[in-house]
Structures are given as structure tokens and as C-alpha cells.
Amino acid sequence: MTHRDASSRRNLPFPARTALSWAAALALGLTAAGCGSAPERPDPPSSPPSAGGATRTGSAAADTRAQLRVDGGVRSYLLHRPGGHDGGARPLVVAFHGRGSSAQELREQTRLDAAADARGMLVAYPEGLRKAWGAGSGATRQRPNPDADVRFTTSLVAELVRSGQADPRRVYVTGFSNGGSMALRVAAQCPTLLAGAASVSGELPTGRAAVTPTGALPVMVVYGEDDPVRPPAGLATPGPAPAGEEPITPTMSVRAGAEAFARAGGEGPPATRTGPGYDRTVWGREASRATVEVLLVHGGGHTWPGSHHTPPAGFGRTSTALDATRTILDFFAAHRR
């Protein structure tokens, strides 16, 4: 570090210096744990507005598209800031879109922005390579480096902490389908990065791409009981992928995945009770750090419960018995590191 750099850092206000210290510790800790690499110097945020409208400042919510250099390449993400954002560090939700989708489509599907605004949360929507995520640990022809997306995620979190926007004690991941499996992978491999994780219609990869939880972390899984795309019982022998696309990753059952997280957290036997339109199974005390929950939605398909987004043909019914977005953010708000 040059004298000028050191002097500039001393002149930073205390919260900014704290964020820098957290980011440095985060990068070193995650690298040592195998969760990712230290973030490279990012490109400045791009000025064009997001697809949802013009970038806004002041008391209104603001959206920006930005880029981050990771593994010698450039990755992009959409960042939503809550209205009335005062510049202080906020809880951060990293939301992964599904296979064949995009950040903007996930925003529309989940309406995360409005729910996050009400809770003062930032939402970062990273863009997957070839519109998909390396949710499994096995290399493929299309994705020879199976850890690239984990490093992208940890670098994104580190950058938002370093810039003072995100509170390192309140970082969460969620996602839908392939993005839900990606959220579970980050939760399994990097529990010290997060305060909580939630997946909708996503399961833990198994087989050659297996991912195993490595520590205690609050985890919620929301799943449609009648999911025709990736059944709750898991997908042991996936069908072939379309020509040129990544192979479909095999996954364990919803319950087996939840049990794996519960074991990693040292939780005991589960308890199940029926709610209005879904069954809720909980491993551990609801107030404990390692609480694991499964919400099995009656009649639900491969969809985001409570969404007004029309799912593709063959994905099944979207249940309105549960607002998955509000339920997940309430779950996150109850936990911090």
C-alpha cells in the first residue's frame, strides 16, 4: 500500500474503515475456507439504467447495473437499493435467477424489490453465465471451472461490504430452481459468509456434482408438492439437456437436503405442522442459528408461491396459499451473524 493509499484510508469515516476491514477479513477467510478468491478491483458501476426503469437517487429506490472482475473475466449484476437509503450498511439479499432466465425476470417473478424496500434491504441480482448457475461441484464441458459462480458470489458480497453498502452480519442468499440450488450450494460451502439462505424449487446437487453442508446456518426451502420439473423426491437420473447446453444436475430429495443442513448445525429430530395450504417442517428451535425449515406447498408446481408471473407450460400451478417472498425475507430478518 502506498503512503497516499494509507493516508486516504485513515481519513475515511469510521463506518467505511470498518467495512474495509470486514471485506479484507471476509476475503481472507473465504479464500482459506475454499469458498472463493479475494475480489479483484471492480470496474466502476455502469451508468445505463436497469431494465426496470431509470436509475433514481434521493428518497426513491435506485437500481444500477454494475460489473465485477472475477477470475480474470467480467461478471455483471443488478443492484436494487431501498427507498430512503441513507448510505449506511444495509442487509443484503443475493438472489439467483433460474436456468434460462435473467436477473430482470427474477425481479418480476418474485417482486423482491418492494418487499425488500419495506425492510430496508439491498437486493443484488447476479447474472449467470449462459443464463445458468454452476450449482453442482462437478465440471462440465460448458462450465469447466465448477467453482466460478461461488467465487463470483463471494467477490460480490465482499465488494458490497467494502463499499459500505452491505452489512457483513446480515448477508443472505436465495434463488429459484437452478438458482435455488445455487443458493443452497453457497450456504453449504460458505456458511460463515451468510446469516441465512432460502431456496424455492431448488435442491442440493448429488452424485458427481454433490454438495455437502459444512456448518450451521439457518436455511429455508420452499417447494411445490406437485412439482413436475424437479420432484420433491429428487432427480436421480435427469434426462438429457438440449444440444449444446449444460447437462441437468442430479439432486437429492428436499427432505434429505434439509436433513443434511440440520446435521451440519447439530439439530435434532424435526417437527411438522400443517398450515393453510402447506406443511411446515422445522429442525431445531425456531430462534436458534441453525434452524432448518421446509415449507411443502400443497398443489404447488415448479413455481414461486404467491407470484403473479405466468410460469412456462408444464411447470404446474402457482399456489397463492403462501407469499414466498415475504416469508423468506421475514425468515432472513430474524437472523444475523
Q: How many residues can be counted in the chain?
A: 337
- Rounded CA-CA distance 224/319 in Å is 8
Contact 228, 314 (CB under 8 A): yes
Q: How far is CA 92 from CA 80, 148, 171, 193, 240, in A?
A: 10, 21, 5, 12, 36
More confident residue, 204 or 248: 204
Q: How far is CA 179 from CA 5, 24, 35, 82, in A?
A: 38, 27, 17, 23
- pLDDT per position as a tens digit, 264-321: 999 989 999 998 999 999 998 766 667 999 999 999 999 999 999 999 999 999 999 9
Nearest C-alpha neighbor of 175 from the set 194, 147, 155: 194
More confident residue, 62 or 87: 62
Report residue 218: phi and psi, to 5°.
Answer: -65, 130
pLDDT of residue 32: 38
- Rounded CA-CA distance 215/187 in Å is 9
pLDDT of residue 291: 93
Q: How far is CA 321 from CA 45, 277, 278, 295, in A?
A: 39, 5, 7, 11
- Rounded CA-CA distance 101/95 in Å is 12
pLDDT of residue 187: 98
pTM of the model: 0.86
Mean pLDDT, range 102-124, rounded to an integer: 97
Check pLDDT > 50 for residue 25.
no
Mean pLDDT, range 139-149, rounded to an integer: 92
- Rounded CA-CA distance 25/11 in Å is 20
More confident residue, 40 or 10: 40
C-alpha cell at 207: 452424485
73 three-state secondary structure: strand
Cβ burial of 145 (10 Å; 0-12, 13-18, 19+) is: exposed
Q: pLDDT band at residue 26, thresholds of 50, 70 and 90?
A: low
pLDDT of residue 36: 53
Q: pLDDT band at residue 49, thresholds of 50, 70 and 90?
A: very low
What percent of the chain has pLDDT above 70? 80
Q: pLDDT band at residue 14, thresholds of 50, 70 and 90?
A: very low
3-state helix, strand, coil in the chain (%, to 5): 30, 25, 50
Helical (H) or strand (E) element with 270: strand 270-274
- Rounded CA-CA distance 284/141 in Å is 40
Check pLDDT > 50 for residue 71.
yes
Check pLDDT > 80 for residue 124.
yes
More confident residue, 86 or 265: 265
Check pLDDT > 80 for residue 257.
yes
C-alpha cell at 65: 447495473
- Rounded CA-CA distance 192/169 in Å is 10
Nearest C-alpha neighbor of 19 from the set 133, 167, 142: 167
Q: pLDDT band at residue 217, thresholds of 50, 70 and 90?
A: very high
